[in-house]
Amino acid sequence: MVDDLAARFEHTVASEARIEPRDWMPDGYRRTLIRQIAQHAHSEIIGMQPEGNWISRAPSLRRKAILLAKVQDEAGHGLYLYAATETLGADRGELTEKLVDGKQKYSSIFNYPTLTFADMGVIGWLVDGAAICNQVPLCRTSYGPYARAMIRICKEESFHQRQGYELLMTMMRGTLAQRDMVQDAVNRWWWPSLMMFGPPDSESSNTEQSMAWRIKRNTNDELRQKYVDMSVPQAAKLGVTFPDPLLKWNAERGHHDFGQPDWDEFWQVVGGHGPCNSQRVAHRRKAHEDGAWVREAAEAHAAKASARQDG
């Protein structure tokens, strides 16, 4: 029986059809999806903090409205993704507990501070740019609810990226001090943005199995290369440089050569020891605790409503 189910699962994956919540799936497939989707959801929710930091200090009403909309979108992406984990049997409350207890990860990128308003532009351009590069292939991931969530999320990420690039273009047309601010932000965010794609393939414990299950459609290094190739002409048009002396076009490969991020720093950050890890998690924990009364009120309301219906 299990052999039949396993064969059907393998066939569905191999034929590029989607696995749906009620289909049989190997335990490891379910566990891997819950891990990846939960980390992704946590990243969206924690990722609201570095930008939320600037909403009250945006330089104009227009920039404030854009930033508010972007941060709200991120909350929506997080909730959408938590809903996808629920289709796999995960419990949203438990996932949040694991996040605030440091038992589940979120993207390393959100452990760096946002020092100036140029960081808002660079997060949109580079961080959302990396997110899109990583997530567009996930629209073809083998698990249906995750693939469908990615389609909508990618559309919104595209708006996020465009607003960031437009913000930077505006600053680059401004004063020398504004141009310097943009270059400084690019210098600080370039290497962390390369780390978003995960460790080099040789150190990526999950890639091989995730590719076989078609959860991941590309390796970490493939996507990192694609991102570098995509970003270089955008930087030239903007008038900024990347802080990498090894970055240059390789005509033979048809790709840019580039240097490696500091992988020791990456593992430190992933291990909870980056510049803002404790601040981010403490803030999330406080928001979760402060929201307890809302969850209790919602549950009490739902219980009363269902009692009324039964009665």
Q: Which one of 22-30, 125-133, 162-170, 275-283 is the stretch in contact with ligand FAQ (CB under 6 A)? A: 125-133
| 195 binds ligand FAQ per the rule CB under 6 A | yes
Residue linked to tokens 């390393």: 108
| 39 binds ligand FAQ per the rule CB under 6 A | yes
Cα distance between residue 229 and residue 244, in whole Å? 14
Residue among 33, 120, 270, 281 that touches ligand FAQ (CB under 6 A)? 270
Q: Say which DSSP state 257 is in.
A: E
Whether the Cβ atoms of residue 182 and residue 240 lie closer than 8 Å to each other: yes
Closer to ligand FAQ by Cβ: residue 256 or 280: 280
Residue linked to tokens 């694991």: 98
Residue among 15, 60, 175, 205 that touches ligand FAQ (CB under 6 A)? 205
**95-124: contacts with ligand FAQ (CB under 6 A):** 105, 107-108, 123
Shortest CB 89 distance to ligand FAQ, Å: 18
From residue 238 to residue 267, what is the string marking binding to ligand FAQ with x (rule CB under 6 A)?
Answer: ------------------------------
Residue linked to tokens 């009620």: 22
**CB burial string 33-45: b at 16+ within 10 A, e below:** bbbbbbbbbbbbb
Distant-in-sequence, close-in-space partners of 129: CB < 8 Å, separation ≥ 6: 161, 164, 193, 227, 230, 231, 234
Residues that bind ligand FAQ (CB under 6 A): 35-36, 39-40, 43-44, 47, 74, 105, 107-108, 123, 127-128, 131, 134, 195-199, 204-207, 210, 216, 220, 270
